[in-house]
Amino acid sequence: MHVHIVSGDGEAKFWLEPEIELAKNYQYSRKQLKEIESLLEGHYNELISAWQQHFSS
């Protein structure tokens, strides 16, 4: 499971399992990546649930 983060500042891909881990980064600063990772941690259960619902069909 993974998520893509896209904004005007850049793009990144994070693995969600077995743990949250940066897979790719294009243009985000280290500070921005830490902020994104914090948001992913805070919404981890929602992200996993949404992934499972989306790909179970």
Question: Residue 4 — φ and ψ, nearest 5°?
Answer: -110, 135
pLDDT at residue 27, as a whole number: 98
pLDDT at residue 20, as a whole number: 97
pLDDT at residue 18, as a whole number: 94
- Please give the model's pTM, rounded to 2 decimal places: 0.91
Tell me the longest C-alpha to C-alpha distance in the chain.
Answer: 37
* All residues at 6 or more sequence positions from 27 whose CB lies less than 8 Å from its CB, including other chains: 9, 10, 11
Going from N- to C-terminal start, the domains of the chain cover 2-55
The whole-number mean pLDDT for each consecutive block of 10 residues of the chain, a chain of 57 residues, reads 96 97 98 98 97 89
- Is the Cβ–Cβ distance between 10 and 25 less than 8 Å? yes
Closest CA to 30 of 54, 9, 6: 9
